[in-house]
Amino acid sequence: MKVREGLMPTVLNTALTATSLTLNNRRKKVHPVIGWSIVALNASQVIMEACSLVRQRR
C-alpha cells in the first residue's frame, strides 16, 4: 500500500485537534485561552498539510 507524503501528519493533527477539543470541553482546569490556542494551532496545521497534499497531486 502506497501512502502519500504528508498524509500521516494530516491524520495525526486531525486526531490531535479532536482530542484537544474534547479535553477543552471536559476539563475546566486549563485556562480557556490556552486550550483554544492549542486547538487553533492544530487546526492550522491540518489546513496547511491538506494544502500540501493537494499541491502534490498536481
Length, in residues, of the chain: 58
- Asked whether residue 56 carries a pLDDT value surpassing 70, the answer given is yes
- Asked whether residue 31 carries a pLDDT value surpassing 60, the answer given is yes
21, 50 Cβ separation under 8 angstroms: no
- Asked whether residue 43 carries a pLDDT value surpassing 80, the answer given is yes
- Asked whether residue 29 carries a pLDDT value surpassing 80, the answer given is no
C-alpha–C-alpha distance, residues 13 and 40, integer Å: 11
Which pTM was predicted? 0.65
Greatest C-alpha distance within the chain: 45
Write down the pLDDT at residue 37: 84
Write down the pLDDT at residue 51: 85
